[in-house]
Amino acid sequence: MTARYPLRTRILHWLTAVLIFSTLLIGFVMVNSIGSYASLRAIHMTLGVLILAIVVLRAANRLTHRAPKLPDTVGWVEHKLVVGSELTLYALMLAQPLIGWAMVSASGRPVVIFGSLQLPRIAPFNADLFFILRQAHSVLAYALVVVIAAHVSAVLLHTLTLRDGMLSRMTFTKPRERAQNARNSRRVGVQTRTSPTGVWAHAEKEARRG
């Protein structure tokens, strides 16, 4: 049976996934929007800071809790790729909101989240710096999409093709093997109780109890 991550790790993982998907979607829509640009930018910055905080928590959690063993279908080379992609994903998730924060600071606009909470500037007001950071923010957004797509594709390949329970490491549902074992145990129990030997043993047990 495939071992799963602790509950805390799974919650942080899926919360990060939802926030990143939402932030990327809003960011791509925001670039092509005029009337709603200000409100979308405010939501985008708030989600970005939330992602930064959660990823810091995830990194601390990852350093203090060892990941469960990968399935036997993962070879030595693929294991190295998994570790490398995980480190790359963490680096992108940390760098992207920081660059966005610095970009807004360099633009001269206040960095406001949750509607009224103003954050300190982490970069000086500078038009050239703003342009560089804006380009870097866009490049990292596409890089994040590529890395996430590769991550999801690899998990689906293992889950649907190799059927090694890779996805169950991070899900909240009961693993298939455990559910199957439970069903088998119940089936054996029913067969035991309904067989002649089982009925006789049950009656003898009840007689002794009486």
Do 42 and 137 fall within a single domain? yes
Domain count, the chain: 2
Do 112 and 165 fall within a single domain? yes
Do 125 and 180 fall within a single domain? no
Do 44 and 129 fall within a single domain? yes
- What mean pLDDT is predicted for residues 87-96? 95
Fill in the DSSP letter of residue 165.
-
Residue 50 placed within a domain: yes
Taking 60 as the threshold, does the pLDDT of residue 123 lie above it?
yes
Do 41 and 108 fall within a single domain? yes
Do 84 and 34 fall within a single domain? yes
Do 127 and 185 fall within a single domain? no
**pLDDT tens, residue by residue, 28-82:** 888 777 678 888 989 999 999 999 999 999 999 988 888 888 888 888 899 899 9
Query: What is the per-residue pLDDT for 173?
Result: 79
Report the amino acid identity of residue 81: L
**pLDDT tens, residue by residue, 177-201:** 444 544 554 554 444 444 455 544 5
**Residues in CB range of 58: below 8 A, 6 or more apart:** 9, 12, 13, 16, 90
Do 164 and 198 fall within a single domain? no
Report the amino acid identity of residue 132: I
Do 81 and 181 fall within a single domain? no
Do 26 and 62 fall within a single domain? yes
Do 51 and 127 fall within a single domain? yes
Residue 114 placed within a domain: yes
Residue 13 placed within a domain: yes
Taking 50 as the threshold, does the pLDDT of residue 142 lie above it?
yes
Q: What is the DSSP string of 107-160?
A: HT--EEETTTEEEPPSS---HHHHHHHHHHHHHHHHHHHHHHHHHHHHHHIIII
* Mean pLDDT of the residues in the chain: 84
Range of the domain at 199: 176-209
Closest CA to 42 of 151, 95, 96, 119: 119
Residue 1 placed within a domain: no
CATH code where residue 95 lies = 1.20.950
Taking 70 as the threshold, does the pLDDT of residue 93 lie above it?
yes
Spatial distance between the Cα atoms of 101 and 110, rounded to a whole number of angstroms: 10
Do 123 and 192 fall within a single domain? no
Number of helices and strands in the chain (H, E): 6, 2
